[in-house]
Amino acid sequence: MSNREIPETSPSEQSEAFSLAVDGMGGDGAPDVVVAGLAIAADRHPGMRVLLTGDEAKLRPLLARHPKAEAICTIWHTDESIPMDMKPTAALRVRKSSMRLGMDAVASGKARGVVSAGNSGAMLALAKIVVKTLPGISRPAMAAISPTIKGDVVMLDLGANVVCDWRNLVEFAVMGEAFAKAVLGLPAPRIGLLNIGSEELKGDEKLRIASEVLRESPLASQFHGFVEGHDITAGTTDVVVTDGFTGNVALKTGEGALKMATTLLRQVFSRSLVAKLGYLLVRPGLERMKEWLDPRRYNGAVFVGLNGVVVKSHGGTDAEGFAAAVDVAMDMVTHGFNDGIRERLSHMGALLSHQQSVAEREPAVIAS
């Protein structure tokens, strides 16, 4: 789309939906990083059309410097944006923030998904109110992909729900399975429920009930059962389901451990001239390893369980990382992620409500 077609105030005249709405003002490096990221993403997604929300006076000069981004972007101007440290309740009162316009675009069907590197609490709150939760899902979750020794793994929840019940965990399994199909392209992703190991210390009742329900569900053949922390990077399953508190800690602990390993490795290679020569000899392999573990490659957490595709980029990401978040959103839009969830839910519905009533009456029986 050329610059001349950009609407001055609103994109309502657009007849066809935009591929994505992008919050131009969200994130530590916005709007520069956002526009530079879109320029990278433009090459990877021919035909992508972006509705870019934010301050036109700031966005237009940046687009001029990135013609590839300019060619795909339509600006939807607003003066308002949500600071990174604003409380969700306050963020909900900002009626025309760049983030909210993006959500509005998804809710009204103007865009098929939205990407923002902004305040994650505000994003979750806005997504619930504006984009709304899918029928049959009690609470949206945050999902992302991480590297394993074998391939990638989808983890959820990563912090949207600090406390979960068995029903939430079952729903996360349904959503995670659809996510792994859409983004990892797996025909039948295997699902694990994160627990702690030894028999006698085994997790609490919600885990036992969730496991029981999944074993009887249409996902039974893909349900591996319980997995432990070390199974995440071992690639034991393609999806790892857990509550938001545990998932957030596990994700960050794993990232921290990898960072420690790479820091120590850097010290090994800079110890002496001989070690530096050694580095030169293994450089190609190390570069591939670095690329495999690159956190930017895994940027793009998804709020799943909503009536639309909502992708959260890390706030401190660079252009390459932002482009990865756009990749995730485009994969989900293209592969009908929400259709997959809806289909699963229609098969799970009767089972879930049956289990709910049994669990409420006789928890001990279900848990045994």
Question: Which of 279, 294, 297, 318 is in the footprint of its own copies by CB under 8 A?
Answer: 279
Element (H, E) at 361: helix 337-361
Interface of this chain with its own copies, residues 293 to 332, rule: CB under 8 A = 293
Q: How are beta strands 309-312 and 152-156 bridged, if at all?
A: unpaired
Element (H, E) at 357: helix 337-361
**Is residue 151 within the footprint of its own copies (CB under 8 A)?**
no
Interface of this chain with its own copies, residues 83 to 112, rule: CB under 8 A = 85, 87-88
**Taking the complex as a whole, how short is the minimal distance between the CB of residue 151 and its own copies, in angstroms?**
12
Contact 297, 318 (CB under 8 A): no
SS3 assignment, position 241: strand
**Taking the complex as a whole, how short is the minimal distance between the CB of residue 291 and its own copies, in angstroms?**
11
Binding mask 116-135 for its own copies (x = CB under 8 A): ---xxxx-xx----------
**Separation of alpha carbons 4 and 319, rounded Å:** 26
Question: Which of 186, 265, 366, 367 is in the footprint of its own copies by CB under 8 A?
Answer: 265
**Is residue 263 within the footprint of its own copies (CB under 8 A)?**
yes
Interface of this chain with its own copies, residues 157 to 176, rule: CB under 8 A = 159-160, 162-163
Q: Which long-range contacts link 209-215 to residues 24+ away (Cβ below 8 Å)?
A: 209/166, 209/355, 209/359, 209/363, 209/366, 209/367, 210/166, 210/167, 210/169, 210/170, 210/173, 210/241, 212/355, 212/366, 212/367, 213/166, 213/170, 213/351, 213/352, 213/355, 214/170, 214/173
Comparison of 12 and 292: residue with beta carbon closer to its own copies? 292
Contact 328, 43 (CB under 8 A): no
Please, which residues have CB within 8 angstroms of residue 198's CB and are 6 or more apart in sequence?
none
Comparison of 196 and 220: residue with beta carbon closer to its own copies? 196
**Separation of alpha carbons 194 and 162, rounded Å:** 15
- Percent helix, strand, coil in the chain, to 5, is 55, 15, 30
Question: Which of 203, 218, 225, 363 is in the footprint of its own copies by CB under 8 A?
Answer: 203
**Taking the complex as a whole, how short is the minimal distance between the CB of residue 41 and its own copies, in angstroms?**
25
**Separation of alpha carbons 148 and 125, rounded Å:** 31
Comparison of 11 and 229: residue with beta carbon closer to its own copies? 229
**Taking the complex as a whole, how short is the minimal distance between the CB of residue 347 and its own copies, in angstroms?**
30
**Taking the complex as a whole, how short is the minimal distance between the CB of residue 366 and its own copies, in angstroms?**
18
Amino acid at 146: S
- CB under 8 A: which stretch of 28-36, 40-48, 52-60, 268-276 binds its own copies? 268-276
- CB under 8 A: which stretch of 5-13, 269-277, 330-338, 353-361 binds its own copies? 269-277
N-terminal to C-terminal alpha carbon distance within the chain: 60
Element (H, E) at 175: helix 166-179
Comparison of 58 and 279: residue with beta carbon closer to its own copies? 279
Q: Which position has the token pair 């929840």?
A: 157
**Is residue 364 within the footprint of its own copies (CB under 8 A)?**
no
**Taking the complex as a whole, how short is the minimal distance between the CB of residue 360 and its own copies, in angstroms?**
20
Amino acid at 216: E
Question: Which of 2, 199, 350, 360 is in the footprint of its own copies by CB under 8 A?
Answer: 199
Comparison of 82 and 183: residue with beta carbon closer to its own copies? 82
Comparison of 242 and 355: residue with beta carbon closer to its own copies? 242
Interface of this chain with its own copies, residues 220 to 259, rule: CB under 8 A = 228-234, 242, 244-246, 248-259
Interface of this chain with its own copies, residues 25 to 64, rule: CB under 8 A = none
**Is residue 271 within the footprint of its own copies (CB under 8 A)?**
yes
